[in-house]
Structure 1
Amino acid sequence: MIKVEHLSFSFPQKELYTDISFTLEEGQHCAFIGTSGSGKSTLIEILMDPDKHVFDGKLEIDPSCRIGYVSQFSQVDPATDMTVFEYMSEAFTRLQEQLNAIYAEMATTHDMDSLMERYQLTLDALESMGGDDAESRIHKKLNLANLAKLKDVSVTSLSGGEFKLIQVMKEMLTNPDLMIMDEPDVFLDFENLNALKKLINSHKGMLLVVTHNRYLLNHCFNKIIHLENTEIQEFDGSYIEYHFSLLQTKIELQEIAAAEAEEIERYDHIIDNLRAIATYNSEASRGRALKARVRFQERLEVRRIKAPFVEIKQRDIHFGLEHEMEDDVLVKVDHYSVAFDELLLDNVHFEIKSTDKVAIIGPNGTGKTTLLRDIFRNQHPSIQVHKDAKVAYLSQLQGETLEDANTILHEFIDAGFNTYDEVRAYLASYGFEGEILEQKIESLSGGEKNILQLAKVAASQANLLLLDEPTSHLDVYTQIALEKAILNYKGAILMVSHDFYSVVNGMDYVLIVEHQTIRKMSMRKFRQMIYASHFNKDYLETEQKKKSVEMQIELALKEMDFELAKGLVDELEGWIKRLSAL
């Protein structure tokens, strides 16, 4: 239904796509992946409204193709006075009202032909959306997402995660030929994430979903479109199969590169010898031999395979400390309560020691962000922060820590860097180089803004990090880099997160929000709870074994032991087959 051929597009400061081509066909549930700032959201904007963009190449969209869309920044209008059911049935209600108006006109019109044409078009639109049984379908969607209890609730009282799911269901109900969703998983708690998984997998139409969520990637898609370094790669299959294919290719390319490096080094010695001889012997045959060897070496260099999707540069996140604190209590919360329209948290008690890494877990809208913000501000009578604590804060509301009107360079000068050259050198390891440093913060993607927040936190040399949904909008590669940084960090971390992988891979224990209070839970019990309530235990345990083999392969490649790496690939393939069967 959609075909892109040789498309190129750029902004004044940045080239986004160079001669890219891909297709989307009926029945495909496609994940659209790529590092933060690579241009995924812009490409979606082009697909949604090609006439607003000037690009080279060809974009074919079936004229009858109806596109549904869910933005990553969906927010309910505070003035909306509707129940959830009324909001979800809005499109059907509007068409039915149009039909009723046409019925009323029929009693007085003298142009029945024109009116009948309008009537038929409106009726066709209603039927194409399944309007005959709209009420039944709304109830089925709500039950599937375990949100039936919200049917008669005002839309304005929903949490952000609940509203995102309602938006997804509302668009799906209209039966679009292509449904596009831009990071629909951002900020969803575990329960709502599972609901989104069910909605995606039950959808019969074509899907294009921008996501970095590893749980959704592993469970929901049969096609991958990967955008990287202005190029696109298509893969028909699951994300796990795609990742396995990349790893196989990486081993092959590294083995070829190692062999070619040896060959080039050998010819370097020959050329050096020929040059030395040519200095003392100017015979024409010697000169010809030298030129031939140089040309052969140049051909070897040119023949090196360029694979932008295989070896993606991981950002270098490092939370360093100038001075580590002794084992002491950094944060003490005692009899803490918070309420807005209703009581969210009451009589909360906990302590964070100087090396604790702790995740706060709980449903959307239960006061976690407010608690983190109160600790950062350190003005609440129920919160004590150690006098020697140096605190850094990453907010899910990026405007709290980043000034949209600033350029990237000015933002870091304001943060305490002395010179622009110092900023440039520092941000290069975070993937910000060249003209992008002159861009304003407001022009960046959500992922790029979060990476800048991480860079500011890392530069602060803080011994207490308060991280509110730090993995939101981050590409998978940066999520993994963040996990490594957390593991290596010597200070304390208090992190609000709904990302299962980040929690289990980096935290010491969790603080669970339930029944308007917080209780401490070991990581072992947290895993058991997640297995029982949300995830498949066998799947996650098999996935951990798969990850262990992948790490062994990475180590083998570092040692250039290609035979060991290829043997481990066979073992890895076995774990992937088990995952596919679960």
Structure 2
Amino acid sequence: MIKVDNLSYSFPQKDLYNKISFTLEDGEHCAFIGTSGSGKSTLIDIIMDSENYMFDGSLKIDPNCKIGYVSQFPQLDKTKETTVFEYLCEDFIKLQSEITSICAEMETSSEIEPLLEKYQEALDLLDATFGDDFESDLNKKLNLANLSNLKDLMVSELSGGQFKLIQVIKEMLNSPDLMIMDEPDVFLDFENLNSLKNLINSHKGIMLVITHNRYLLNHCFNKIIHLENMELQEFDGRYIDYNFTLLQTKIELQELAIADDEEIKRNEQIINKLRDRAEITGETSAGRYLKARMKFQERLEARRIKTPFVEIKQPYIRLTTNNQIEEKIALKINDYSVSFDEMLLENVNFEIKSNDKVAIIGLNGTGKTTLLRDIFKNNHPAIEINSDIEVAYLSQLQGEVLNESNTILEEFLDAGFKTYEDVESYISNYDFDEEIINQKIESLSGGEKNILQLAKVSASKSNMLLLDEPTSHLDTYSQIALEKAIENYNGAILMISHDYYFIINCVDYVLLIEDKTIRKMNMRKFRKMIYSKYFDKDYLEIEQKKKSVEMKIALALRNTDFERAKTLSEELESLIKLL
């Protein structure tokens, strides 16, 4: 259906792809993975609209291939006065109206032949796109996504997560041969994430999905495309097996790389001795031997292990505070209420200590973001922040914290940095290269913008952080780096998240929004609730054990203890078989 062959493409600031190749064929549900800023969304743009891009290599798409697309940032039109059912039927109704219009025209026209041809084309399109059971298919998909109760709701009343699922359903109803989705899981709550999983697994056509969500990666795909360091590799099989293969390769290659380094070092010592001898004695034979050794060194360097898929960039995220204060109440909420068209939260009460790490959880549209924004603004009578507490905010709407028309340099100079060198030195820790320091923030990927937000939050050295979906758009390596940063942070954190793994690894307790109020829940009860309502207990517990073993392997590799790494990889393989 799609064949990419030796494709290369560059931005003015950086090279994105170096002769990458892959195919997409019938029956493949393909996860598209890679670090933030590696060019995944750009590659999708090239597939969608190749004529607007100048690239080397070839891109062949079956001329009859019909593509459906769900954007990374679907825009919810709050002014659109239409129900969910009408919105989903929009294309169907439009085509039916066109057929009705042609029929009416045929009743009065003397030139019937062209109208008959037009009528047949419209009928064929209706049949090819929607089939005979359009409404039945629509209802099945709404049931599958647990959204049947929204059918008569106005589109403008949907939460962002609900609208994302409706967008997925609408594209699927058009029966595309290839369904492309760019991070469809971002901001989805636990229930909606399961709904998305069901929709993906029910789809009969080819799928290409950019995602960093570990739950979806493990449950929805039979092929992996991994883009890293300008190169790409394909893997036919599950993500969990691909990840294990990658880890095994890493163990083997690091062991070989150390042997290579040792040989290069020994040869360098010989070269230095020969150079000294040639300079002192002036012997011709010593000079010839030196040249031969230098050529041998070049060959050693050329064959040095190159590992674009195991030497993966991982930003160093560090969350710091100016001063660690003694334990006290950092934030107090007394009888907080908020409403828009209807009451969202009513008479909410809770407090957070200066070293608490807390997650607010709840279904999409229950008021979590509104509450976090009000705390940051600190102009609501129900909100009291201790005078010793300095607050920093990370928004799921990245333009709230970042001025996207700024360059990276301008953004950090505005934040209080003094010189170009100060900014360049600071953001290099977050894996931003010097050459993009003058790049506009609006041109960055969603993941890069979130990393930049984290860098800005950390630079503020605040002792209380409000984080709204901090893992959104982040690749898995950046998510792990953020988990470590939160673990080492010495202040208070209040965050919104729908990432089960992230919550389990980062917080002391959760605040659950339910029935328009908030109640505190310890981690044992939180796990129990997740197991009973959303995810399989055995799967989640094995996943946690698996992650623990992976961390031990990483530590063994850092200590060049390859025997232990190999033993642990056998333990990891046995866990993977259970999944």
What TM bracket, shorter-length normalisation? over 0.9
Once the two structures are superposed, what CA deviation does each residue of 1:394-450 show, in whole Å capped at 9, x if it has no partner?
011111111122111000000010111100010011111233111112222211111
The reply on whether 1:420 has 2:427 as its aligned counterpart is: no
- Say which SS state the counterpart of residue 438 (structure 1) adopts: coil
How far apart are the structure 1 equivalents of 2:153 and 2:486? 40
How far apart are the structure 2 equivalents of 1:279 and 1:102? 94
Q: Give yes or no for contact 1:556–1:565 (8 Å, CA) kept in 2.
A: yes
Code of the residue aligned with 1:305 in structure 2: it is: I
How far apart are the structure 2 equivalents of 1:249 and 1:455? 32
* 2:567 counterpart residue number: 567
Q: Give yes or no for contact 2:217–2:239 (8 Å, CA) kept in 1.
A: yes
Once the two structures are superposed, what CA deviation does each residue of 1:495-541 show, in whole Å capped at 9, x if it has no partner?
01111111111101000000000000001110111011111110111
Displacement of 1:180: 0.7
Alignment of 1:11-26 (within 5 A): 11-26=11-26
* 1:430 counterpart residue number: 430
The share of aligned pairs that are identical, in percent, is 67
- Say which SS state the counterpart of residue 375 (structure 1) adopts: helix
Q: TM-score, normalised by structure 2?
A: 0.98
- Say which SS state the counterpart of residue 308 (structure 1) adopts: coil
Q: Give yes or no for contact 1:92–1:131 (8 Å, CA) kept in 2.
A: no
* 2:245 counterpart residue number: 245
The reply on whether 1:473 has 2:450 as its aligned counterpart is: no
* 1:199 counterpart residue number: 199
- Say which SS state the counterpart of residue 554 (structure 1) adopts: helix
* 1:459 counterpart residue number: 459
Deviates more, 1:100-109 or 1:174-183: 100-109
* 1:113 counterpart residue number: 113
Displacement of 1:288: 2.2
* 1:331 counterpart residue number: 331
* 1:306 counterpart residue number: 306
Displacement of 1:64: 0.5
* 1:545 counterpart residue number: 545
The Cα RMSD (Å) is 1.2
Count residues with an aligned counterpart.
Answer: 579
Deviates more, 1:278-287 or 1:164-173: 278-287
How far apart are the structure 2 equivalents of 1:550 and 1:334? 43
How far apart are the structure 1 equivalents of 2:438 and 2:300? 38
Runs of 4+ in 1 over 3 A off after TM superposition: none
Code of the residue aligned with 1:169 in structure 2: it is: I
* 2:407 counterpart residue number: 407
Q: Give yes or no for contact 2:337–2:346 (8 Å, CA) kept in 1.
A: yes
Alignment of 1:236-315 (within 5 A): 236-315=236-315
How far apart are the structure 2 equivalents of 1:447 and 1:266? 42
Q: Give yes or no for contact 1:316–1:481 (8 Å, CA) kept in 2.
A: yes
Displacement of 1:276: 3.1
Q: Give yes or no for contact 1:188–1:498 (8 Å, CA) kept in 2.
A: yes
Code of the residue aligned with 2:193 in structure 1: it is: L
How far apart are the structure 2 equivalents of 1:299 and 1:199? 52
Displacement of 1:241: 1.1
Once the two structures are superposed, what CA deviation does each residue of 1:96-141 show, in whole Å capped at 9, x if it has no partner?
1111112222222333322222122111111112331111111111
How far apart are the structure 2 equivalents of 1:446 and 1:465? 20
Q: Give yes or no for contact 1:218–1:239 (8 Å, CA) kept in 2.
A: yes
* 2:356 counterpart residue number: 356
How far apart are the structure 1 equivalents of 2:253 and 2:208? 30
How far apart are the structure 2 equivalents of 1:399 and 1:365? 20
Once the two structures are superposed, what CA deviation does each residue of 1:243-301 show, in whole Å capped at 9, x if it has no partner?
11111111111010111122222222322332333333333222222222222222111
Once the two structures are superposed, what CA deviation does each residue of 1:322-371 show, in whole Å capped at 9, x if it has no partner?
21010100001111111111111111111110110000000111111111
Deviates more, 1:452-461 or 1:562-571: 562-571
* 1:341 counterpart residue number: 341
Q: Give yes or no for contact 2:78–2:157 (8 Å, CA) kept in 1.
A: no
* 2:177 counterpart residue number: 177
* 1:386 counterpart residue number: 386
How far apart are the structure 1 equivalents of 2:477 and 2:198? 26
* 2:217 counterpart residue number: 217
How far apart are the structure 1 equivalents of 2:285 and 2:205? 69
Q: Give yes or no for contact 2:35–2:313 (8 Å, CA) kept in 1.
A: no
Displacement of 1:83: 1.2
Q: Give yes or no for contact 1:69–1:179 (8 Å, CA) kept in 2.
A: yes
Once the two structures are superposed, what CA deviation does each residue of 1:150-193 show, in whole Å capped at 9, x if it has no partner?
11111111111111101100110111000111111111111001
Q: TM-score, normalised by structure 1?
A: 0.97
How far apart are the structure 1 equivalents of 2:46 and 2:361? 37
How far apart are the structure 2 equivalents of 1:373 and 1:192? 23
Code of the residue aligned with 2:17 in structure 1: it is: Y
How far apart are the structure 1 equivalents of 2:467 and 2:364? 16
